[in-house]
Structure 1
């Protein structure tokens, strides 16, 4: 009995001694150059205890040897080590990232009110389009107009009040006036590896919108992906006889990588809980090619091309359907990091995208009375040049210029088949009306911005920004007065705004 008591006391006293806080000293070095890493943040995991490395990479922090330390730096990958193994810590330099807008590892990089949302359950749920990835995300709702025409809104912000991009820069703007072809209809959902959200006007680096900024990030290869990889996926749903097939091929090496994605989606009308069949059919075929080249460890070039072909799309919320909804986009990116002690990074982004959308009433009962077709197109192009500067070790400064130019055009043709009394018009004398939808409209936004973050402590940073935008809009094909059946005149652009307004060249 005495031996047992002595053993218990010995274990208890040993545990108390082991749990006592001691001063942990360590050294943080660059794994490649073995040079000291200055201003790295060292945190005791799960606590508010922090320390920073000095100009020799040294630090000291008070904790117990069984605790975990988290080491982070603006230029290196985050690392976790046991305090007992902290004598020498080697950090790997961050891989150049072209696609992301948020890096939440350092107070100087983090954007206020920003989150990263994505999970494996959503990626494997056979979504109809990328908008369904936003389901159940706090603050978001999805506005659904048809099986393919769904787009997210955040709190009270929607449409152009939000700034939705993919891979940090590329935009695809809808051509349809009823927004039956939003950006989320043109991205392969399974390609999206995560969704970044800035919840309001807390940064000026990504456009002049005051609503949420949403960035859908597609996957970029990492060193773990080196070699040749491939995957095939397919799925089937009985309600609607929905079928999805997708394939991916990836070849990656240290200097370059190539990723190919292709998908086929064929969905039918579904039956709701009351046994009512709802129009929801569509067919899409999409593919994308992403090529990257890394001439050095701190540089990356990237080219991204994608195309989507949509057909036989039924819209339950409109009296027309879409026999065609095609799009394509091309993006080019370049980034270099650690140019000098003062210049942290230089990044260049450019893109061009186009949408070709057709709506008709051929499959609707109204086609017996009138043949209506609306052909619309949109072209969007733009880019961004940004410099990341470090005037001091506690300050990060971003400055640059960006541009987004949008052009849209289209017309609606209506051929009247029946008179008001129900008798048919002879085919050769059917009235034909042509309405100008976008009037060849162009809007341009050129912006200049500067945004700085000053690190007050390991937990607190002060951020401020200034942005100026030069916005213009014009139309090149203004609508004239139109006379419809019954002799009623619908005023055109000149009648609405007066003869003194130069509708062709005037810019507002």
Structure 2
């Protein structure tokens, strides 16, 4: 009997447990999701997903997938990934269906700090559509391409190479130029014949981030802004393919020929891209038919390779070289004879290291630069040849830790730079005929920087906050100082600890309106030219310049306010800024110093100005690609004031407005474009630098783009259709005169692009 009762009890308990288990299984739900980039629809690998109710966190796999097991009908998820806007959503959990929920993330740069993103291209795969708001100008020079953005201009000293960008009146050492977030080669020329942008190979660029103001501190001690050229990211997750691409271009007035191409392998566990290009230019004529020297030849190549180590980590390397020959600079005392550049970058990325993202890079560059006056009339009296070199190397290490309460970014970086160079002057006439003098151009100058940065982005609904701070330690010295520096300045070694900080937010006011406000403080240690240049004409005027190792660091205190409206068809962006700069670095005449070169009226030395200010606005209206007719209307203006001397700052661009129109025909196979660019006269000039007012002008550029086949695209057009004689306000004057360096007159161009898959 007892056995029977025990058996019945056991059976009953077993049935009860089975029923309970079945009930639990019925209540158990599985939530599967897939995180995608909203623009590219590519999977986001290593994104962090926090399940709020249970306090669990997971990351997406190589396909952007994640999964939670839950007994609840609804989940609250907080999704974050570096470079994207955080997303918080409530979603229903359902029994496993085999179809994951598709969740899209938006890139953060489009809604955060004052930033402009210029799309260069959609990648090197065969195009299924064409970008409509691309540059009408097919120039290979990065500085020229940047001028398509509001409030960005360029200083031009030569005919066809090395336009030096100016952002909101900030220029040269006040800007940081990077490629894929890493500092690239720094030019050796004291006259900046070879600014950092001149070493960017534009065919390799997918988009350009222009981060304005002293806010993007994780890129370095950002003072006036950061220009970051972003390459196409490796794609390991498609089937392995081999692709080839080629560009052939010609521009009539300047005789520009451009041949570029390469092959690449994508997919699988490794990717490789080999790219090369050749560019040559000749003289051009301005709108009045005057001849302007602008010849050069340039050969460049790049080898990139990357390997997927695990589903969440990869290692990549980029090696590039450029060889410029016989580049003419009619606004300078010399022409570039040679410029040989070598760059190497090694990078490691892990998107899920202890639930965070680790990025590290090592970089190095070497530039060998030679310039001379041997083809100038001045060589009949004095032949001058200058050889200079620069070495730049460093590292960048950062770790990003997303969390439900906010995202933390910590990083450290360093840059080490050394310059050497001499100018040899051989006298051909007069009492010193046959004798030579050797001038120490850079005095063995060194400038090193070590920095550390912390950034926090708290997660607050409808708000996007960023708070950041960084410290930078600087060391500079000259190992081979010239007599003046030894006798007058003594010990040239300088050390400085700089502090920068910024805070800002954007707020979603409604489904269409958002606003932002930013405040920042940044220090900029003087550049190598401002510290150590030795009796060279490197300014906008004909004076020789002398460095000053006793300079104080500039300090920029800036605010930005932004307002953005976006609907299904229309987008309007407005931003205003005000920058108050302490110890602004300028230059003043030294009557006790005598120039060393014929033709220089005197010597100026770099010095600090107590107070300066720059302020202005940008405004853009554009459609959102919903109609065949595309349009973009923009305007920008900056005022710069020397508050200590109560005069205008030099080299501030004039008011500018642009109108771009395009129309998509035949399923986007044919797109005509027109670009109207109006620039006002500039009367706000710095008399202490002999700066002269410039006239306004209106330019008309036309372009027609046709997708002949899925792999072939043809573009043709006319720049400066009405052959206007004009020059940008920032152009230097022709050497030995006050006549301006005019820009090219009417020029016809044609460009053919081909992309093809081998398999």
**Do the aligned partners of residues 39 and 356 (structure 1) sit closer, same or farther apart at CA in structure 2, a change above 3 Å counting?**
farther
Partner deviation per Cα, 1:274-312 (whole Å, 9 max, x = no partner):
111101111000000000001112111110000000001
* Residues 114 and 197 in structure 1, CA contact (< 8 A), matched pair in contact too: yes
The alignment partner of 1:142 has SS state of strand
Q: Is the 8 A contact 1:279 1:314 kept in 2?
A: yes
Shift of 1:398: 0.7
Aligned with residue 229 of structure 2, among 216, 230, 249? 216
In the superposition, the TM-score normalised over structure 1's length comes to: 0.76
1:132 matches 2:144? yes
The answer on whether the counterparts of 2:31 and 2:68 sit within 8 Å (CA) in structure 1 is: no
Choose from 104, 107, 129 the match for 1:105: 107
Note the alpha carbon deviations across 1:399-430, whole angstroms, 9 max, x for none. 1211011111101110011117xxx93xxxx1
- Indicate if the aligned counterparts of 1:321 and 1:360 stay in contact, CA closer than 8 A: yes
Counterpart Cα distance in 1 of 2:202 and 2:175: 20
Aligned match of 1:397: 408
Is 1:299–1:334's contact at 8 Å kept on the other side of the alignment? yes
Determine the structure 2 residue equivalent to 1:387: 399
Asked whether the equivalents of residues 450 and 473 of structure 2 are also in contact (C-alpha less than 8 Å), the reply is yes
TM-score, normalization: structure 2? 0.52
Shift of 1:268: 0.5
TM-superposed deviation, 1:171: 1.9
Question: Deviations for 1:89-122, whole angstroms, at most 9, x for unmatched residues?
Answer: 736899xxxxxxxx95369x97522332224464
Query: Which residue in the other structure is 1:443 paired with?
Result: 447
Q: Is the 8 A contact 1:123 1:190 kept in 2?
A: no
Residue 494 of structure 2 corresponds to residue 494 of structure 1: no
Confirm or deny that 1:258 pairs with 2:272: yes
Structure 2 unaligned spans of 5+: 1-29, 36-42, 53-66, 86-90, 121-130, 497-759
Moved more, 120-129 or 460-469: 120-129
8 Å CA contact retained: 2:151, 2:168: yes
**Hey, what does 1:337 align to over in structure 2?**
351
1:348 and 2:360 are equivalent in the alignment = yes
Deviations 1:34-54 (A, max 9, x none): x995469xxxxxxxxxxxx99
Aligned-partner Cα distance in 2 for 1:466–1:55: 40
Structure 1 85/454 Cα, relative in aligned 2: closer, same or farther at 3 Å?
closer
- The 1-side partners of 2:69 and 2:417 are apart by 49
For structure 1, list consecutive stretches of 5 or more residues without a partner in the other structure. 1-25, 41-52, 62-70, 79-83, 95-102, 481-491
Instruction: Select 2:477's aligned residue among 474, 478, 484.
Output: 474
1:434-482 deviation line (CA, Å, top 9, x unaligned): 111110100011001111110111x2122212211110100000012xx
1:253 deviation in Å? 2.2
Q: 1:358 aligns with which of 354, 364, 370?
A: 370
Where does residue 116 of structure 1 map in the other structure?
117
In structure 1, distance between residues paired with 2:103 and 2:417: 38
Give the 3 Å change call, closer, same or farther, for CA 417–296 of structure 1 in structure 2.
Answer: same
Which position in structure 1 is the counterpart of 2:631? Answer: none
**SS of the counterpart of 1:133?**
helix
Asked whether the 8 Å contact 1:305–1:331 carries over to 2, the reply is: yes
Cα gap change, 1:92 to 1:309, in 2 (>3 Å): farther
Deviates more, 1:155-164 or 1:281-290: 155-164
Deviations 1:471-501 (A, max 9, x none): 0100000012xxxxxxxxxxx112221xxx3
In 1, the alpha carbon distance for the partners of 2:321 and 2:48 equals 47
Alpha carbons of structure 1 residues 274 and 294: separation in structure 2 relative to 1, 3 Å: same
SS at match of 1:205: helix
CA contact (8 A) 2:272 2:304 kept: yes
User: Are positions 1:203 and 2:195 aligned together?
Assistant: no
Given that 1:304 and 1:330 are in contact with CA atoms closer than 8 Å, whether structure 2 keeps it comes out as yes
How far the C-alpha of 1:363 sits from its partner, in A, is 0.8
8 Å Cα contact 1:73-1:106 kept in structure 2: no
Count of aligned residue pairs for this structure pair: 426
Superposition deviation, residue 74 in structure 1: 2.4
With over 3 angstroms needed to count, the CA separation of the structure-2 counterparts of 1:251 and 1:449, relative to structure 1, is: same
SS in 1 for 2:183: coil
Q: Which residue of 1 aligns with 2:336?
A: 322
Counterpart Cα distance in 1 of 2:272 and 2:112 = 31
User: What is the rounded CA distance, in whole Å, between the counterparts of 1:76 and 1:93 in structure 2?
Assistant: 16
Q: Distance in 2 between matches of 1:297 and 1:92?
A: 20
Aligned CA distance change for structure 1 residues 114 and 304 (closer, same or farther; 3 Å): same
Relative distance call for 1:313 and 1:38 in structure 2 (3 A) is same
SS in structure 2 opposite 1:338? Answer: strand
- How is 1:56-67 mapped onto 2 (pairs within 5 angstroms)? none
**2-structure distance, mates of 1:58, 1:105:** 30
Structure with more strand by fraction:
2
2:389 to 377, 383, 400: 377
Aligned partner of residue 201 in structure 1, secondary structure: coil
- The equivalent residue for 1:66 is none
Alignment of 1:37-116 (within 5 A): 37-38=49-50, 73-74=80-81, 90=100, 105=107, 111-116=112-117
Judged with a 3 Å threshold, the aligned counterparts in structure 2 of structure 1 residues 471 and 507 are, in CA distance, closer, same or farther, namely: closer
How far off is 1:175 after superposition? 0.7
User: In 2, distance between residues paired with 1:212 and 1:75?
Assistant: 20
Structure 1 residues 431 and 250, CA, compared in 2 at 3 Å: closer, same or farther? same
Establish whether residue 291 from structure 1 lines up as the match of residue 297 from structure 2: no
Does residue 157 of structure 2 align to residue 156 of structure 1?
no
Distance, in Å, in 2 between the alignment partners of 1:36 and 1:217 is 24
Per the alignment, do residues 76 and 159 of structure 1 end up closer, same or farther by CA in structure 2, a change over 3 Å counting?
closer
Q: Quick one: higher RCO (CA 8 Å, sep 6+), 1 or 2?
A: 2
State the partner residue of 2:535.
Answer: none
> What is the match of residue 175 of structure 1?
188
Which residue is equivalent to 2:417? 406
> Displacement of 1:394 after TM fit?
2.6
Compared with structure 1, are the counterparts of its residues 473 and 362 closer, same or farther at alpha carbon in structure 2 (3 Å cutoff)? same
